[in-house]
Structure 1
């Protein structure tokens, strides 16, 4: 383990220096969305969209049926736009499913 000596430095000066370093690192970091998700082909197949979202293909079809995402047909095939898919993810907020009438189940 390495030791850091802070002799000759006041606590407030050390704190200010650490804050400045953290601000610099945060401001120089990249976007919050990983670049591999934000880039790539604009039109995705259902299989590619499912892989991107880490869900099964049937869930992608279910999301489209419920109107959460929009499907586009091109030449008899179904595609989803990457930008619309990522935008719909930002609109959705998951909530916990409420317990039934009896509350929690006990065995």
Structure 2
């Protein structure tokens, strides 16, 4: 086993080097497990979930805060399972806005 000396290396430089090594190893590890392209990836970012549900990202954050949508933190980023997002879609169907009080029908 080799010994790595980190004296004289800044923390940010070490992080950058580790990220580069991980990227290299992941890209050379062979083919990734194929995902079902019809349903998309299993984990979605907040923006992807918002686009999928046709709401703004703030709505996703609000639903997370209120416990209406389960989420997972991975490395400081928030991800949502596609199945949980689909369940939220079923629970929170949009309805058409009723006509306002001042609006009249013209015939």
User: TM (normalized to structure 2)?
Assistant: 0.50
The offset of 1:71, in angstroms, is 1.3
The count of corresponding residues between Structure 1 and Structure 2 is 68
Residue equivalent to 1:46: 46
1:16-35 → structure 2 map (5 Å cutoff) = none
CA RMSD of aligned residues (A): 2.7
The offset of 1:74, in angstroms, is 0.8
**Residue segments in structure 1 that go unaligned for 5+ positions in a row:** 1-35, 97-103
- 2:53·2:89 contact (CA, 8 Å) conserved in 1? no
**Residue segments in structure 2 that go unaligned for 5+ positions in a row:** 1-36, 103-107
Which 4+ stretches in 1 moved above 3 angstroms?
92-96
User: TM (normalized to structure 1)?
Assistant: 0.50
The answer to whether structure 1 residue 72 and structure 2 residue 60 are counterparts is: no
The answer to whether structure 1 residue 86 and structure 2 residue 86 are counterparts is: yes
